[in-house]
Amino acid sequence: MLGNAVIMGPGQATPRLSGMTVVGPCATDARVSETFPEIREAVRRLCARFPGPYWRALDRERAYPTEFVAALTEAGFLSVLIPEEYGGSGLGLAAGAAVLEEIHRSGSNGGACHAQMYTMGVVLRHGSAAQKQAYLPKIASGELRLQAFGVTEPDAGTDTTRITTFARREGDTYVVSGKKLWISRAEHSDLMVLLCRTTSRDQAAKPSDGMSVLLVDMREAVGAGLTIRPIRTMLNHATTELFFEDLRVPAANLIGEEGKGFRYILDGMNAERILIAAECIGDARFFIDRASAYAKDRQVFGRPIGENQGVQFPIARAYVQMTAASLMVDAAAALFEAGEPCGTEANMAKLAASEASWYAADMAVQTHGGFGFAEEYDIERKFRETRLYQVAPISTNLILSHVATHVLDLPKSF
């Protein structure tokens, strides 16, 4: 399912974001991720208004960071990828990656709203002119939240062609029945991109045919055929399960052609994986920054623990791994922006970055000793948060399988 989907990059219009001058990527810079310095600085300033105690309080209650998301929306950071003609900044994917990396480096978490940045891509690339005009300007302004993405189902798991949520056509309406699992931000979204079957798998010409994408208006759907049930998880992620019982969706909300939805969804996954990889780079930098500071400060046996190579080397190794992964993220984003196939690179970047952030997380706990487990240091919270990215949005094994069979031509196992 991890095809080398060819995706159209977002518009290459003149960079613009809240009046700032944007400096382009400079991949050979020794500090590889210091691209878009003005955007990064502005994101850092915004995140400084939402320090550790803000996130800790939300984490305890598993509450949604409404104020943080509103501030990002107002500053225009969530609409950087929307072309200027629809009210966005018209920047490329690397700019979006810089925003999300800085959010995570600051100790904040973009998981509450990152999908507002890229889920609109399915409308932008495959929607009709009328749909683009109706939705994109309102998504750009934040008037409409499109940040729910309904693909995963309990009985299909990673094998998306096995989904069974079905949309039956009745005149100018689709009637949807079925269930979805792990659909994040559904309670905080006005619209949802929903992948469902319009032809059953056994009736379709091939397993990936017969799936369609519907844009569901959550404001009308909840209580009229859609039930949302929150799932409490090890991190604060506002994820849910969804139950559809004869939910009626106007046929005008079909995106693109009926039966071609799987391809549209794959298109968007490259952007998602690159942006989430950037979040992992931000997490790794957070852990490295915190561990370095603590190792210089904490005195044991009459000297800073950071004087011991047993403490230094894991921090240095985390930095090397983060830097290598960051270069992969930059390379994947550059391919995406050039409109080149980048499925393999997007997946490899996500794998490398999620492993770099997890190594850095473990290192930071070890460096902090007992304080690595104390809520007030934020290490344990970020440790739980960054673990997600080896499972979602795609698990490590599935990426390895793609590389093994598509790149190295090893025999397929499924």
Ligand X SMILES: Cc1cc2nc3c(=O)[nH]c(=O)nc-3n(C[C@H](O)[C@H](O)[C@H](O)COP(=O)(O)OP(=O)(O)OC[C@H]3O[C@@H](n4cnc5c(N)ncnc54)[C@H](O)[C@@H]3O)c2cc1C
Q: Which residues make up the interface to ligand X (CB under 6 A)? A: 149-152, 157-158, 182-184, 233, 237, 239, 388, 391-395, 397-398, 401, 414
**Helix residue spans in 119-260 (DSSP H):** 121-126, 129-141, 218-221
Q: Please tell me the distance from the alpha carbon of residue 326 to that of residue 261, in angstroms, as a whole number.
A: 31
**Please, are residues 7 and 267 in contact by the beta-carbon 8 Å criterion?**
yes
To the nearest whole angstrom, how small is the minimum distance from the Cβ of residue 385 to ligand X?
A: 10
To the nearest whole angstrom, how small is the minimum distance from the Cβ of residue 217 to ligand X?
A: 18
**Please, are residues 11 and 136 in contact by the beta-carbon 8 Å criterion?**
no
To the nearest whole angstrom, how small is the minimum distance from the Cβ of residue 337 to ligand X?
A: 24
Q: What are φ and ψ of residue 331, in 5° steps?
A: -65, -40
To the nearest whole angstrom, how small is the minimum distance from the Cβ of residue 108 to ligand X?
A: 17
Q: Could you tell me the sign of the dihedral formed by the alpha carbons of 95, 100, 102, 103, in that order?
A: positive
Looking at the Cβ atoms of 39 and 280, the one nearer to ligand X is 280
Looking at the Cβ atoms of 273 and 368, the one nearer to ligand X is 273
Looking at the Cβ atoms of 71 and 398, the one nearer to ligand X is 398
Using a 10 angstrom Cβ sphere, with 0-12 exposed, 13-18 middle and 19 or more buried, the burial of residue 379 is: buried
Smallest CA-to-CA distance from 25 within 17, 13, 33 is with 33
Looking at the Cβ atoms of 2 and 388, the one nearer to ligand X is 388
To the nearest whole angstrom, how small is the minimum distance from the Cβ of residue 258 to ligand X?
A: 20
**Please, are residues 239 and 182 in contact by the beta-carbon 8 Å criterion?**
yes
Q: What are φ and ψ of residue 213, in 5° steps?
A: -110, 125
To the nearest whole angstrom, how small is the minimum distance from the Cβ of residue 104 to ligand X?
A: 16
Looking at the Cβ atoms of 134 and 228, the one nearer to ligand X is 228
Using a 10 angstrom Cβ sphere, with 0-12 exposed, 13-18 middle and 19 or more buried, the burial of residue 24 is: exposed
Smallest CA-to-CA distance from 89 within 97, 99, 79, 98 is with 79
Total count of residues recorded for the chain: 414
Q: Please tell me the distance from the alpha carbon of residue 57 to that of residue 48, in angstroms, as a whole number.
A: 16
Looking at the Cβ atoms of 92 and 150, the one nearer to ligand X is 150
To the nearest whole angstrom, how small is the minimum distance from the Cβ of residue 307 to ligand X?
A: 39
Smallest CA-to-CA distance from 341 within 406, 412, 267 is with 267
Looking at the Cβ atoms of 25 and 268, the one nearer to ligand X is 268
Looking at the Cβ atoms of 33 and 165, the one nearer to ligand X is 165
Site of tokens 């139950």: 243
> Which two structure tokens, joined as six digits, stand for 373?
């487990």
To the nearest whole angstrom, how small is the minimum distance from the Cβ of residue 156 to ligand X?
A: 7
Looking at the Cβ atoms of 366 and 396, the one nearer to ligand X is 396
Q: Please tell me the distance from the alpha carbon of residue 132 to that of residue 414, in angstroms, as a whole number.
A: 38
Strand (E) or helix (H) holding 145: none
To the nearest whole angstrom, how small is the minimum distance from the Cβ of residue 147 to ligand X?
A: 9
